[in-house]
Structure 1
């Protein structure tokens, strides 16, 4: 391991009297988990990272005292290339913990910023909530080439609601990559609920083409979820965007069934039937 963690920082005695954000998780558990992660290195388990989410406070509450002690150690592990794939859940943890408390953000955000430029696309995706402002996200958008990170960036930019973000969404509506285009349609609905209606025909064409199905599952990741969304998830999300147009929403399952009949797409047919039952019930 290239990371050096002071053994004194992992001494249980230092954690006595500290608090986590959850009553069932004592602070003395935290150094044991950190030590286990450090010793395991690239063989560390994601389950151990999940145990450390006891440090994340409820919305609106300050970070618990144990989080202040644990953060330097979490940063050291997350930024260590030798931690392997465990760096992704560690970065997810940091992305939940740092923005939760201004005191933590101000003190430790600079140490987490290198994760936004990490060689691993999965780490870059997980680190996006650590971006300090919309301008940083826009800068990343201009330089990022990996489609899965670009899609996550697009969604993160949409949440800012800035003029720059809206310009990026408008540009991406001309995107040839099917998932990026559909993501732009979905994200734009927050500003213009009728935009998905105007783009519905092309969205349907892309989502019902069996050859394009893998291109959605390859790139559509959402925060705090390790696996990408499938085309089937996106069918339901698109259906939801039509709630203000009951006529189109009611016709949506039938459109999918017709496309499934044309292409022989059994997965599409199954999802269309489920959508039809949901709408009827």
Structure 2
């Protein structure tokens, strides 16, 4: 046994007769998946195995399926155990979907999930953010977090709270040196101030077109429900979208990117600039 999950208890549980949220996923499949996740060791773990367990999340407006409270202690044990390996982040993401969707589950389960917010693994901390009980918790995490990818996810989570503290964090991060965090702050601020990206457009263009800064956009921005992180090229398109209310600037944007690519010889930037120009011309 490579993990602390109580496998004997798992085997002793009667799964026949329990229900999941999807007729095509019988409850008897759940212990098989949990066994597979528990047996892989710290260097294994297939994130796709976790997708099979999404049948435990109740459909909106529907009661919690009977298999969910039975499986939940095992899910929590696997997510917390380093021996689960690469599946810990996806398992935590599953819990972050499941627990808010099932408010009638015992409070002890939510309490057991909270340590995931401060787990040593940044992937687990990122995935656990929806489990934060309130904006004050997110602010506390922001003050102590040092990993750029978790800070970026925290920033976006805080922006969704629309609190005074969140607005202060956004204002602070608009002076951030890390290019991806700064771009994230612009995106997050645009929801309540659509003209803010216009005022920051010069700096956005400088950061997004500097070849030396391109690696600093890698492995930092992990949107929810997306298999991988955003790259600088993704962000070139998202900034274009922020200018939709200013057709003049949006129309000129691909040209600015192309001019920068000509100056620096950045072929990746050139490709995106050409695609954006074609997109704009066809829209």
Q: What TM bracket, shorter-length normalisation?
A: over 0.9
Give the distance between the partners of 1:230 and 1:140, measured in 2 at CA.
25
Moved more, 123-132 or 37-46: 37-46
The 5 A counterparts of 1:159-174 are: 159-174=160-175
Q: Which residue of structure 2 lines up, in the alignment, with residue 21 of structure 1?
A: 21
Contact 1:151-1:219 within 8 A present in 2 as well: yes
Give the distance between the partners of 1:2 and 1:23, measured in 2 at CA.
30
Contact 2:7-2:35 within 8 A present in 1 as well: no
TM-fit CA distance, 1:37:
1.5
Contact 1:99-1:105 within 8 A present in 2 as well: no
Q: Which residue of structure 1 lines up, in the alignment, with residue 37 of structure 2?
A: 37
SS at match of 2:104: helix
Contact 2:3-2:84 within 8 A present in 1 as well: no
Give the distance between the partners of 1:171 and 1:40, measured in 2 at CA.
43
Task: Give CA-to-partner distance per residue, 1:241-267, whole Å, 9 cap, x none.
Answer: 111111111111111111111111100
Task: Give CA-to-partner distance per residue, 1:127-153, whole Å, 9 cap, x none.
Answer: 111111100000000001111111110
TM-fit CA distance, 1:57:
2.6
Could you say if the C-alpha distance between residues 59 and 254 of structure 1 is closer, same or farther in structure 2, counting changes exceeding 3 Å? farther
Which residues of structure 1 form unaligned runs of 5+? Answer: none
Could you say if the C-alpha distance between residues 197 and 107 of structure 1 is closer, same or farther in structure 2, counting changes exceeding 3 Å? same
Q: Which residue of structure 2 lines up, in the alignment, with residue 63 of structure 1?
A: 64
Q: Which residue of structure 2 lines up, in the alignment, with residue 264 of structure 1?
A: 265
Task: Give CA-to-partner distance per residue, 1:189-237, whole Å, 9 cap, x none.
Answer: 0111110111011001100111111101131111233421100110111
Q: Which residue of structure 2 lines up, in the alignment, with residue 142 of structure 1?
A: 143
Aligned residues: 280
TM-fit CA distance, 1:188:
0.2
Contact 1:98-1:105 within 8 A present in 2 as well: no
Instruction: Verify: 1:225 aligned to 2:226, yes or no.
Output: yes
Which residues of structure 2 form unaligned runs of 5+? Answer: none
TM-score after normalising by structure 2: 0.94
The 5 A counterparts of 1:65-214 are: 65-104=66-105, 106-214=107-215
Q: Which residue of structure 1 lines up, in the alignment, with residue 6 of structure 2?
A: 5
